[in-house]
């Protein structure tokens, strides 16, 4: 039995889960909105006493893999429509700045000859914190964990943390492995 797949997902009050039998799309509706996800037709689910459990028909490797995958995706959807997700990134470097502009626009100054303007998806909200003496912080919030991670990775790709000085965009709390650099000859 899959260790992840067999775990029940607690469904809070106010969350509604429906499956379209023709297209095998599960829709989860909650206070923050609704999310949809395709689930293979072999995987079935039951809701009992406020808990969602997934079952697989056989012990085939394919069914075992899908069992854990879809359980994780559905758990993230339930958490997303109730609480939502948040990713924090910090800009480490002299002169690096971030500014959230109206219209879900993010303006980044990362040491290039021009500023980088990023138009974010409407499902994601952005906020920036610029305190004197501290690194600027970008806060991304949304209910879709996959989309949020993809956007955060795209922002990070504009200036990945480099190993010698540690400059770049990193997640808050991330440890960057540092290299020694040149050492003086005797």
Domain ranges of the chain: 9-82, 85-171
* Verdict on whether the full-model pTM lies above 0.85: yes
State pLDDT tens for residues 119-164: 999 999 999 999 999 999 999 999 999 999 999 999 999 999 999 9
Distance (Å, rounded) from C-alpha 114 to C-alpha 23?
46
Distance (Å, rounded) from C-alpha 183 to C-alpha 173?
29
Domain 9-82 and domain 85-171, same fold? Reply is yes
How long is the chain?
Answer: 186
**Tokens read off for 184:** 């003086």
Classify 85-171 by CATH class: alpha beta
Block residue for tokens 């994601």: 124
Classify 9-82 by CATH class: alpha beta
State pLDDT tens for residues 74-130: 999 999 999 999 999 999 999 999 999 999 999 999 999 999 999 999 999 999 999
SS3 breakdown of the chain: % helix, strand, coil, rounded to 5? 20, 35, 45
């Amino acid at each position: 039995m899959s260790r992840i797949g067999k775990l029940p997902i607690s469904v809070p009050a106010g969350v509604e889960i429906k499956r379209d039998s023709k297209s095998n799309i599960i829709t989860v509706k909650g206070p923050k909105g609704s999310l949809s996800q395709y689930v293979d037709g072999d995987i079935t689910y039951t809701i009992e006493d406020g808990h969602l459990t997934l079952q697989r028909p056989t012990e085939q490797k394919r069914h075992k893999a899908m069992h854990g995958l879809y359980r994780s995706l559905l758990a993230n959807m339930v958490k997303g429509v109730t609480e939502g997700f948040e990713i924090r990134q910090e800009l480490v470097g002299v002169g690096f700045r971030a500014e959230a502009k109206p219209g879900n626009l993010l303006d980044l100054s990362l040491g290039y000859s021009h500023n980088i303007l990023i138009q974010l998806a409407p499902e994601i909200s952005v906020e920036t914190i610029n305190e004197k003496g501290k690194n600027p912080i970008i806060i991304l919030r949304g209910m879709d964990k996959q989309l949020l991670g993809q956007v955060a990775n795209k922002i990070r790709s504009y200036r990945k943390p480099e190993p010698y000085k540690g400059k770049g965009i990193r997640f808050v709390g991330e440890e960057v492995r540092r290299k020694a650099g040149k050492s003086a000859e005797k």
